[in-house]
Structure 1
């Protein structure tokens, strides 16, 4: 118990509290049980980190596996870019975005049948849509100029649900297709589904479509060939998970009516603070060092993110990709096997006090909590509930109570506090975590900017599609004949993939497009599959 008193002392809180009045940001790391010596010991490795960050921002290759620069910091401060060409490209794209948005809002660009655009439909996957969706939800208001919808998974039923919500308003909906390579399967399928929906109501898809993609990509060529409304660039020096402040996020957010200038300003201001070589004056360094302390530089720890604000509910999803895709690596830059990574999960406070707080308090101590506190409760005046307290005061009490309970159980936490949720503070939070990711990756010597395992999954998915096609082709070439899984596997020379064959066949029998049927077996795995033969 004596140790807990030290951890929660007022003196320790004051010593390690980061406060920036202009950004209205507080970072409290005092309830992480690091020692004073830890920060002193990290001064030397952090000197090299600061140097590496300077090189990265000047255009050095920071993604050696793909031979690429890493330039998402230039997006909010183009003058930092290593060449005038890149700086002008960023500035020019922003001007084009603002000009296009003005034309849409003023009705100078309309749908094919003369309807002004009232809705947005974003089609993408992963980083190209998680960020825009998070910010769109966080900053949504009744004053929005356009309503945003999202297709982000390739689930046919999910696509139907979104299109059903749009309904007859599809004719007044601007569709934004986001794919850096132009060949991402989930995005391609979403685009084709949406294209069909426009065609089904007698409208031309290109007359309602905008592309955001890398110049020269398949999507870029398609949009130019078909005469889409506009195409905006993505650059090879910006990864999907750090692309929010490029056209990927700025276009749709500006169309929604969000002040993207404030969003960029918040990120730019936070970037400036996170370049400081003084650890205690650098919130990005403090955050990354808490991750390093908690994981001992080895990875494997869990970070529970608890934003006590409904508007930040999707922030955890956004952070999952930013952190886990960046830091989850098998090998370090020396080629050594390290299995780095930090699992991120969470929902929102105080919902979690009624879900997994029980395990956080009494289960395995394999995590730390990141609380995100928003001081402003609402725009209007709050009435008292009970105990002379507003609902917002109760919500803060739940946060403080949860944090206190964790400390009493010897569980660590840190707290990020902002005054309110607006475009500026969202920009600050995005930049804060982006920088923490960069710093942690440099400390442990990994490449945070590639994702080879994701490509493995895509390759395996392609093999599954080919296997499905082989099954269908074989069954259709033997109409009326029934086959077990082992018989099919032998016939198409896929004996090592019998389990996958069975899973594919089950899906084929439930979805009737290919005409595959099943004769149930006992046990189920002994079922037989066939395509009906000609009726005699």
Structure 2
């Protein structure tokens, strides 16, 4: 780490620049020293989690002890959640779709959607479904549904698929099989496309809890009865951490995403974060500085602001990760603490024009977390298309990335100049490996921060409150 400029850089080139989050006017060395014992305890707790899957006080929603196993996922080994055989099966599944399936529709919500959308956006971009089969190397078009109960879009998707596809695969992702949003839209689309036979050949794959016997889920039972192939929603991995499991990797397989590179990036980040030296452990450092910014300086809103259109879904994924992991009413002793930062999605220059007025002049209650891509695969130069227009001619000759980075640096400088906390993650390039590093760092950071705040980062009791009300309301609607 370069202590002078407050940057921690990994061997891959991935870096965390916290220059505008730590030092004079921000979180101080004295702040960090004051909680040194808690930082050390947090590190030991996460080391224990890695070794055993145990997190102090963590219970499942039915009140029984539950292991936390997401830190296993980067390691492809026999006996792990991701084994050589399971990864090989995913790859074989992806290959089986090439030149045979026209469109895949993925049904899921929360962690069964958000992480999958990240992989799709980074690998495929906005125009994947408009490309020819040859341009997609034979991989199918891919659409998402089940992430909101929207009657109009659901039926428009059905009509779109009827018009363009002859061979369709539905991937339904639900641990229980009773997820309202996912299963209701899945059944509508399944029924509509089934009625379109023989014009459409329809296949279904289920991603669910594979437990059998008394623990068998509704979707597992249904898939068995219907003869649908199945992939696993693993025990001990909450939805918001599941992008590294078959829940996310099944989407990766459908589009030719580099599963090995993605998991290698997550693995490299995990190895880097095993050190107890906070200044060389980016996940723990990120957690400590943001915890202190909130606890000591009232910065309890986090604006996650990538400077890349195709990383917007990372910000949306992070909203769930941060909100569900750290938004907790009580600490582990049952004391009401009402903990957690409110996450906000922002994107580059788009939201410099839409949100920065509030970031710069509003309440001093925010941390702005930038994400920068250092090198772009394609980086056009702005031409001098209108030399008579001096204001336009002045920006000619710049690469688009130069203009983008100048805007980001100006935003960061303006914020820090007014005592507004901000930091930056820097990806050397936008690829599968560095995406794995980034997502895993964020997942591990909330685990560390849960320990610092003494809250359970792996449960979500607040979600159960509306579910208890929803069931009776649905029954009333049927009556």
What are the residue-to-residue correspondences of 1:461-476 with 2, within 5 Å?
Answer: 461-470=470-479
Residue matched to 2:13: 24
Residues 1:416 and 2:400 aligned together:
no
Q: What is the match of residue 223 of structure 2?
A: 223
8 Å CA contact 1:299–1:341 kept in 2: the answer is no
Bigger relative contact order, structure 1 or 2 (CA pairs below 8 A, ≥6 apart): 2
The Cα RMSD (Å) is 2.2
Moved more, 134-143 or 368-377: 134-143
Residue 388 of structure 2 corresponds to none
Question: After the TM superposition, which of the residue ranges 186-195 and 431-440 deviates more from structure 2?
Answer: 186-195
Classify the secondary structure of the residue corresponding to 2:275. Answer: coil
Question: What is the rounded CA distance, in whole Å, between the counterparts of 1:408 and 1:15 in structure 2?
Answer: 16
Return the alpha-carbon distance in structure 1 between the equivalents of residues 353 and 460 of structure 2.
Answer: 35
Cα distance in 1 for residues equivalent to 2:471 and 2:59: 23
**Is 2:387 the counterpart of 1:398?**
no
Quote the Cα distance in structure 1 between the aligned partners of 2:91 and 2:343. 35
Distance 2:160 2:97 in 1: 22
Alpha-carbon spacing, 1:146–1:448, altered in 2? closer, same or farther (3 Å): same
1:346 Cα deviation from its structure 2 partner? 2.2
Q: Does 1:51 align with 2:44?
A: yes
Match of 1:460 among 458, 466, 469: 469
How far the C-alpha of 1:299 sits from its partner, in A, is 8.0
Q: CA shift at 1:16, angstroms?
A: 1.9
Is residue 110–residue 239 contact of structure 2 (8 Å, CA) maintained in 1? yes
Of 458-467 and 268-277, more deviation after overlay is shown by 458-467
In 1, Cα distance between the equivalents of 2:27 and 2:9?
19
Cα distance in 2 for partners of 1:409, 1:300 equals: 14
CA 1:299–1:262: 2 relative to 1, 3 Å? farther
How big is each residue's C-alpha offset from its partner over 1:497-519, in whole Å with a ceiling of 9 and x where there is no partner? xxxxxxxxxxxxxxxxxxxxxxx
The answer (yes or no) to whether the contact 2:379–2:399 under 8 Å persists in 1 is: no
Report the alpha carbon displacement of residue 362 of structure 1 after superposing the two structures with TM. 1.1
Residues in 2 aligned to 1:393 and 1:89: alpha-carbon distance in whole angstroms: 40
Task: Give the distance between the partners of 1:203 and 1:24, measured in 2 at CA.
Answer: 52
Aligned partner of residue 178 in structure 2, secondary structure: coil
Equivalent-residue separation in structure 2 for 1:300 and 1:450 (angstroms)? 24
1:104, 1:366 → 2: CA distance? 48
Give distance in 1, aligned partners of 2:296 and 2:194: 54
> C-alpha displacement at 1:187, in angstroms?
1.2
Which of 45, 68, 71 is matched with 1:70 structurally? 68
Q: How does 1:287-302 map to 2 (within 5 A)?
A: 287-296=286-295, 301-302=300-301
In the other structure, the counterpart of 1:129 is 113
1:138 to partner: Cα distance: 1.7
1:261-340, aligned counterparts within 5 Å?
A: 261-296=260-295, 301-340=300-339
Q: Do structure 1's residue 257 and structure 2's residue 266 form an aligned pair?
A: no
CA drift of 1:372 comes to 0.7
Aligned mates of 1:287, 1:300 — CA distance in 2? 14
Aligned to 1:428: 437
CA contact (8 A) 1:302 1:343 kept: yes
CA distance in 2, matches of 1:27, 1:88: 29
| 1:505 alignment counterpart | none
State the alpha-carbon separation in 2 of the partners of residues 205 and 414 from structure 1.
Answer: 50
| 2:136 corresponds to 1:146 | no
In the TM superposition, 1:167-186 aligns within 5 A as 167-186=162-181
Alignment of 1:360-371 (within 5 A): 360-371=359-370
Cα distance between partner residues in 1 of 2:416 and 2:274: 31
SS, match of residue 18 in structure 1? strand
Tell me the number of residue pairs that the alignment of Structure 1 and Structure 2 aligns: 444
2 CA distance for matches of 1:13 and 1:58? 31
Separation of aligned partners in 1, 2:278 and 2:299: 24
| Equivalent position of 1:494 in the other structure | none
Query: In structure 2, what is the Cα distance between the partners aligned to 1:242 and 1:407?
Result: 32
Q: Any stretches of 5+ residues in structure 2 without a counterpart?
A: 129-134, 211-215, 385-394
The within-5 A match list for 1:231-246 is 231-246=230-245
Give unmatched runs, 5+ long, in structure 1.
1-10, 108-115, 471-536
Q: SS in structure 1 opposite 2:304?
A: strand
Q: Structure 1 length normalisation: TM-score?
A: 0.79
How far off its partner does 1:131 sit? Answer: 0.4
Separation (CA, whole Å) in 2 of partners of 1:409 and 1:166? 52
Flag the 1:459–1:300 CA change in 2: closer, same or farther, 3 A: farther
Going from structure 1 to structure 2, the CA distance change for 1:246 and 1:298 (only over 3 Å counts) comes to: farther
Per the TM alignment, residue 241 of structure 1 is displaced from its structure 2 partner at its CA by 0.6
Structure 2 counterpart of 1:520: none
1:248 CA drift (Å): 0.8
